[in-house]
Amino acid sequence: MRRLRPSLAAPLLALLAAAPLVLARPQESAPAARPAAAPVAAPARAPAVDFARYSERGPRQVATFREEWRDAARDRVVPIKIWHPDGDGPFPVVVFSHGLGGSRESSGYLGDHLASHGYVTLHLQHPGSDESVWRNAKRPYQELKAATRDLDNFVDRPADVTFALDELARRAADPQWPLHGKLDLQAIGVAGHSFGAWTALAAAGRTFVPPIGRPRQAGDARIKAALPMSAPANPRELENGSYASIRIPCFHMTGTEDDSPIGDTAAADRRIPFDGSVNAERYLLILAGAEHHAFGDERKEGRALRPRDPAHHPLIRAGALAFFDATLRADAAARAWLRDGGYAAALGRNGTFEQRDPALTRRE
């Protein structure tokens, strides 16, 4: 995988203009055939102690700070917020990308949870598709819709991730920086919600496949695992092999009511990135009754808040922590709990859990 550099921005923009695959779903064509599901068999009862280990807050105290990072090469300022644990480290790093109209404050519940278990989480804010798009706008919905058609956002977002990793390494070497010497830069994950899930998959190595022209990637080889939540998807992507270039572990999360509030992705199509990532170890959580905002900090329906299903966030937190423990820390116990039925048992009737591993398939 190659990092996205400014020299690639123009050609990538051109191919996206030729084939905007991401936030639109064909209205006429039927979904392509998908691989058969492989639900995980659950043990007779959930190991409650293990679920609490992953779902509840960890033992470490958590602090936060905010900075404004300037990418001189692109003349772009990227606001960031970091959640970090107490102690000396070194700690694994997870970069988080917010959804359309969000900010560096988005999904703080997840950043705080991971930090309490010994992770440093770096939450990006993407100018052009952040909260500035709709705040104080006379027609906020229309402004958000317009942001999904601005192809610069599709170039800038994965480039923000690569820039952030470069800047993180630079700052970590500075004895005056708060996290100097506390980061494990060999253990980096990426996560995101909605447009942020698209960003996470792009950074994880997804290929952009235009109808004509050469396919391109915006992946960063420093990323070892990805957690996309509510990724936008299109049935054509199963046919063009867009996700086949992803070769790092991915945990995809969605819900049975996860229809897009802005784009055209239907809830049933959210599993397409999982089905299409045929060369990656991957997991799929589909939460029963979860709609698009269930993976964020609040649950919205129109302008009114409605009560969150209290089962959802503990399951999201537990799955995320076990996944990153298994992939970034090579924790055998976390991997076994995730893969051998512990997580599926904890999920119970609150959803379904699937997994696929091409390495195991090849051995069989």
Q: What is the mean pLDDT of each run of 10 residues along the chain (364 residues)?
A: 41 36 31 43 55 97 98 97 96 96 94 98 94 82 80 90 98 97 98 96 90 84 98 89 95 95 89 96 97 76 61 96 98 96 95 91 46
Q: What is the dihedral of CA 154, 157, 158, 162, to 10 degrees?
A: 150
What CA–CA distance (Å, rounded) separates 350 from 337? 18
Tracing tokens 């993976």 back to the chain, one arrives at 295
Q: What is the domain partition of the chain in residue ranges?
A: 6-20+38-363
Alpha-carbon span 22 to 156, nearest angstrom: 15
pLDDT of residue 78: 98
Between helix 6-18 and helix 151-172 the angle, nearest 10°, is: 150
Task: Answer for the pair 94, 191: CB distance below 8 angstroms, yes or no.
Answer: yes
**How far is 27 from 36, CA to CA, in rounded Å?**
24
Distance CA 194, CA 209 (A): 20
Give the DSSP per-residue string, 308-364.
PPTTHHHHHHHHHHHHHHHHHS--HHHHHHHHTTHHHHHHGGGEEEEEE-HHHHHH-
Report helix, strand or coil for 229. Answer: strand
Q: Cβ contacts of residue 355 below 8 Å, gap of 6+?
A: 38, 40, 282, 283, 284, 338, 339
3-state secondary structure of 262: coil
Give whole-number Cα distances, 25 to 37, 152, 231, 272, in Å: 22, 20, 13, 12
Q: Cis ω on the peptide bond leading into residue 210 (within 30° of 0)?
A: no
Other beta carbons less than 10 A from residue 331's beta carbon: 16
Q: Are 63 and 48 in contact (CB under 8 A)?
A: no
Exposed/middle/buried for residue 176 (C-beta within 10 Å: 0-12, 13-18, 19+): exposed
Provide the token pair at 278: 């045929």
Name the amino acid, one letter, at 86.
D
Q: Using CB atoms within 10 A of its CB, is residue 41 exposed (0-12), middle (13-18) or buried (19+)? A: exposed
Token pair in block for residue 173? 């070497």
Q: Which of 91, 131, 149, 135 is nearest to 115 (CA)?
A: 91
Q: What is the pTM of this model?
A: 0.85
| Nearest partner of 195 among 102, 104, 76, judged by Cα | 102
For the domain bounded by 6-20+38-363, which CATH number is listed?
3.40.50.1820
Q: Is 74 exposed, middle or buried (0-12, 13-18, 19+ CB in 10 A)?
A: middle
Other beta carbons less than 10 A from residue 353's beta carbon = 23
* String of DSSP letters for 19-81: ---SS---SSSPPPP-PPP-BPPP-SS--HHHHHHHHS--SS-EEEEEEEEEETTTTEEEEEE
